[in-house]
Amino acid sequence: MGLLDGKKVLIFGIANDRSIAYGIARQMKEQGAELGISYAGGSSIERRVKPIAEELGASFLEECDLSDDSAIEALALKAEKKYGSLDCIVHSVAFAPHECLAGRYADTARADFLTAMNISVYTLVAVANKFERLLSPEGSVITMTYYGAEKVVPNYNVMGVAKAALEATVRYLAVDMGKKSVRVNAISAGPIKTVSAAGVSGFRSMLPVYSERAPLGRNVDINDCGGCAAFLASDLSKNITGEVIHVDAGYNIMGF
């Protein structure tokens, strides 16, 4: 028996087999979930995501640019037609222009700030809003965040500010959606080599520092995020909401 037997999960944010959302999808599938996948980025991403959807036996595969409200609404209608209701939504989506992930935060251009906030924060609000009617009672919404929301991480800059807003969004949404017994939580992952992470200047040098300083003395991977997400999608976490759970081998508890 799997933790997620009979649960229908829609996952946003698989771009390739290194994406955190792929690790989440794999772990959820292993726990018995039925998966739907939504991706963005046109045919080049579709070429990578299609075989992943096949591997995971996904019953739904649709493109959706989450910066477009009408596209989200159209996706919600399709998902409603297909599933009737959903038990979990995974939002593993973020973007900021490469040039603002290096140097001084003070130099962030207004347009880049707005792009980062739009894609990395507002997309969660929009998805919660458009999919609320589909989420079953005891449903779960999960997003991905990073420690740069809490402390200054060199070069993370506007993404750190966006993640702080995302974590606040989790708490506000948890109150709104709690009225229907839907939970909203974030997983704060340690650094993992993905396409998005590679956009942060100096990212590679973070990995050995994390494993050296984390209490568990190692780095985390996409399957670790998947394990936590499977728990958050399951009934085992039915009274956990509005939380940010660190999956970082303990790095964040260290003061020195």
Ligand X SMILES: NC(=O)c1ccc[n+]([C@@H]2O[C@H](COP(=O)([O-])OP(=O)(O)OC[C@H]3O[C@@H](n4cnc5c(N)ncnc54)[C@H](O)[C@@H]3O)[C@@H](O)[C@H]2O)c1
Q: Which helix (H) or strand (E) holds 247?
A: strand 244-247
Interface of this chain with ligand X, residues 144 to 183, rule: CB under 6 A: 144-146
Q: Nearest distance from residue 1's CB to ligand X, in Å?
A: 29
CB burial of 126-149 (b: ≥16 within 10 Å; e: otherwise) equals bbbbbbbebbbeebbbbbbbbbbb
| 89 counts as binding ligand X under rule CB under 6 A | no
129 neighbors 58 (Cβ within 8 angstroms): no
Q: Cβ–Cβ contacts within 10 Å for residue 2, how many?
A: 14
Q: Out of 25, 29, 58, 95, which residue is the one contacting ligand X (CB under 6 A)?
A: 95
> How far, CA to CA in Å, does 96 sit from each of 50, 134, 209?
25, 30, 24
Query: 93 or 233: whose CB is closer to ligand X?
Result: 93
Tell me whether residue 22 is one of the annotated catalytic residues: no
15 binds ligand X (CB under 6 A): yes
The region of 16-24, 50-58, 74-82, 208-216 touching ligand X under the rule CB under 6 A is: 16-24
State the DSSP string of 40-83: -SHHHHHHHHHHHHHHTT-SEEEE--TT-HHHHHHHHHHHHHHH
Tell whether residue 77 is a contact of ligand X (CB under 6 A): no
Q: Is 156 noted as a catalytic residue in this protein? A: yes
Q: Indicate the residue among 195 and 238 with the shorter CB distance to ligand X.
A: 195
Judged by the rule CB under 6 A, the positions of this chain that interact with ligand X are 12-15, 19-21, 40-41, 65-67, 92-95, 119, 144-146, 189, 191-192, 194-197
What amino acid positions are annotated as catalytic residues?
Answer: 146, 156
